[in-house]
Amino acid sequence: MEKKKLLIMRFSSFGDIIQSMSAIDLLKMMYPISEIHFATKKEFVSLVKLHPQVDQVLGYDKKEGLIAFIKKLREHDYELVYDAHKSLRSQFITKIFYHSIFHYICTKSIDPVVVTRGKDRLKRFLLFYCHKNFFPWPFKGRVSFQAPLLKLIKSRPVIKKVAFNFGEMRDKNGYLKICQEVDKKTLTIAPSATRDMKKWPLSHWLSFVEKLSDYRFIILGGPEDTYLQIFEEKFGNRVINLAGKLNLIESCYVVSKSNVLIAADTGLMHVGDYLGIPTIALIGPTAFGFPAGDNSITLEVNLKCRPCTKDGRGKCSQAVYQKCLVDITPDRVMDVLNNLLAHIPE
């Protein structure tokens, strides 16, 4: 039997790409004998390749242009194309290239089935400006990426943990060797996020680490997160600050080896959730970043103004800036952590 060729398109960003991988899991269940391709930006190709059920990743290079990228797609005869982004770029591909006449002229084959994940702009407007919610709540991104495909089979979401295929990791700078020493007294934290509105207050993080004086902490972050050096200055060798020292794949690898991950609303939180790592997610003003896995716990505060933003842009309306995150106290996180650790086998 000839394998069906299926294409998923999601070009950005880090966290959304991780969540969109749930579509891979569902498609493999729907079409066990299939070849799954994934189209994304060039910089995320190595990330998508971590998924063990992706057969080919097609990277979009802005310098080469969209037409050159479409030529790559034309080399394949897809039976199903899933636009999991609905950007101008992905819509151009689905509405122009996969238009019946044009597609037939280019490929001499019939149209594939095209499925699109909508933006639900009216629902978003009503949620953020009228505080009327017509979305499933809590809104779990992994489930939402499967929803358009589920209409084809009228089934339930498939939410499972996945083991990424890292292959043989090169530890050029010796930073990854710490993964061999992780135990119940080692916690991984990802304090940063793309926007300040999504960050748990730094004072809360410092208090949290100070209270857990018999624990060691691995800190993950990007090159721009130089402010995280304060943990080293304050706590010395109890902290291993890897912010800015690892690339994206290496950071995912550290998460995969972690005992527990405590994270802001950021891409690494979704990595922990997707890999089944016990994860505590600190969710503040955003609407669409809730984890879905059984091993993940969401901490949030019920305020009438929540959610107020899609991705952390905008201004806080409360007298206490970031009240939705300020009111998640270090003691509350400690209580959840202790309960989580009690259920992790030695």
- Identify the bridge partners of residue 35 per DSSP, sorted by sequence position: 5
Instruction: State the pTM of this model.
Output: 0.93
Residue at 293: amino acid letter = G
Q: Please report the pLDDT score of residue 334 as a whole number.
A: 97
Token pair recorded at residue 136: 């499933």
Percent of the chain with pLDDT over 70: 95
pLDDT of residue 158: 86
- pLDDT tens, residue order, the chain (346 aa): 568 899 999 999 999 999 999 999 999 999 999 999 999 999 999 999 999 999 999 999 999 999 999 989 988 989 999 999 999 899 888 877 665 444 444 554 556 889 999 989 999 999 998 989 999 999 999 999 999 999 988 778 888 889 999 998 888 888 898 888 788 899 999 999 999 999 999 999 999 999 999 999 999 999 999 999 999 999 999 999 999 999 999 999 999 999 999 999 999 999 999 999 999 999 999 999 899 999 999 999 999 999 999 888 889 999 999 999 999 999 999 999 999 988 776 6
Q: What whole-number distance in Å separates Cα of residue 176 and Cα of residue 15?
A: 22
What pLDDT was estimated at residue 101? 47
| Per-residue pLDDT at 98 | 64
Walk me through the domains of the chain, giving residue ranges and CATH numbers.
4-151 (3.40.50.2000), 180-342 (3.40.50.2000)
By three-state DSSP, how is residue 229 classified?
helix
| Structure token digits, residue 139 | 């809104």
Q: In terms of C-beta distances under 8 Å and separation of at least 24 residues, what long-range contacts does 68-75 make, across chains too?
A: 69/39, 70/97, 73/7, 73/39, 73/97, 74/106, 74/107
**Cβ contacts of 123-126, under 8 Å, gap ≥ 24:** 124/287, 124/310
Per-residue pLDDT of 241-274, as tens digits, reads 999 999 999 999 999 999 999 999 999 999 999 9
Q: Which stretches within 83-228 are classed as H helix?
A: 88-92, 100-107, 121-130, 141-153, 202-211
Cβ-contact 239, 206 below 8 angstroms: no
